Amino acid sequence: MRAGRRWRGLAPLLALALAGVLPPWPAGAQQQGAGVHAALPGVTITYDPVKDPVEKSYRRMVRGMDLFEREHARSPHGQLRFKLLPRKRGVDLDRLELLVLGSTVEIPLDVAPDRTFVLPRDAKAWTEDAKVTPDRKALTMTWRAEVRTPGLPAGTRRLGDLRLECRVGMEAGLYSNSPSFITRIFSELSTTPAYCGSEGNRYLFFADRPIFGVTLESGARREMLPAVRLWAGAIDEPHLERELPYCDCEVLLDRTFFLPLADPGWPDDTRVVFDYMEDRHASD
């Protein structure tokens, strides 16, 4: 399976040959081989059926890790992992095979049950400009950086962790919205970490479960996010059904939110508190 993925570039030619479109063998060789045809052993040819797989640049993801190291002060106890999320209905991310794949290097990655993984630093993979590739098609799943401080109360995150997630995610090139949604969600400057510090940025975060509300708490200050910052801003999107397929939040709409990352009035220690939809009958 893995070897097949390395040779997947030859798969279209192989398919044409099998279909009889390409000559199977040079004419002279065919004549020479005709007499021994019956004596040849059977050959089983396999190749990876995943065409157009999701791929990320290993180098860019390592640059994201470098940024995390440089800016660790935002999240002194935070730990960085990368996360895979579904983008289309019915996509099964269990039993997923994830590889760092270069021209000769091949490193299988362990994906945890929560679909997070750690990327190892490997000089050969860097030199070969390897790709990080799962056995899933493009646009069926999406990626995020995940920075978590251990020991926080359930249903809470730390704003500094999320700021760093945004910066690492942008540096690592993990965003994957299609052009029409990029126009609305992201600006032209949105391909760099600087986007995370720009006023009005709309970097999409995904909560662990569907959210009804999100509140920021810092000391005595407490403020609920307005509805326009929840559910990918769907409340202001009159053509939601038409636009949604272009957003990597397509099947995660009820978990999606964005934060005032650029507001210096909210320090990194600000607590982000989630009110989940299915925690029933609570009101504020």
Partner 1 sequence: MQAIDRSVFAALLASLFLAGCATRGGGWFAPDEPDSPFGDPELTVPAAALLVRLGESRKDEVQGRLGKAEVVRFDSGYEAWVYRARGARDPRAAPELVLLFDPGGVLAKMRTRPAYGVGAAAG
Among 14, 224, 262, 273, interactor with partner 1 by CB under 8 A? 224
Q: What is the dihedral of CA 210, 216, 219, 220, to 10 degrees?
A: -100
Residues 74-103 that bind partner 1 (CB under 8 A): 89
In which order are the strands placed within the sheet that holds 131-134? 56-57, 131-134, 98-101, 106-109
Helix axes 58-70, 159-171, angle to 10 degrees: 150
CB of 249 to partner 1, least distance (A): 12
Binding mask 235-264 for partner 1 (x = CB under 8 A): x----x----------x-xx----------
Least distance (Å) from partner 1 to the CB of residue 281?
Answer: 5
231 binds partner 1 (CB under 8 A): yes
Residues 194-223 that bind partner 1 (CB under 8 A): 210, 212-213, 223
Angle (nearest 5°) at CA 223 between 85 and 157:
35
Contact with partner 1 (CB under 8 A) among 52, 55, 227, 269: 227
Residues that bind partner 1 (rule: CB under 8 A) add up to a total of: 24
Select from 150, 153, 179, 226 the one that contacts partner 1 (CB under 8 A).
Answer: 226
Binding segment (CB under 8 A) for partner 1, from list 21-29, 71-79, 172-180, 234-242:
234-242
Nearer to partner 1, 174 or 234 (CB): 234
Identify whether the C-beta of residue 134 lies closer than 8 Å to the C-beta of residue 48.
no
Angle at 119 between CA 62 and CA 67, to 5 degrees: 35
Instruction: Report the 10 Å Cβ neighbour count for 36.
Output: 8
Which residues, listed in sequence order, are joined to residue 85 by a DSSP beta bridge? 142
66 or 275: CB nearest partner 1: 275
User: Nearest 5°: phi and psi at 192?
Assistant: -125, 160
The set of residues, in sequence order, having a beta carbon less than 8 Å from that of 186 and lying 6+ positions away, is 175, 177, 195, 202
Q: Is 159 in the site for partner 1 (CB under 8 A)?
A: no
Judged by the rule CB under 8 A, the positions of this chain that interact with partner 1 are 89, 210, 212-213, 223-224, 226-228, 230-231, 234-235, 240, 251, 253-254, 275, 277, 280-284
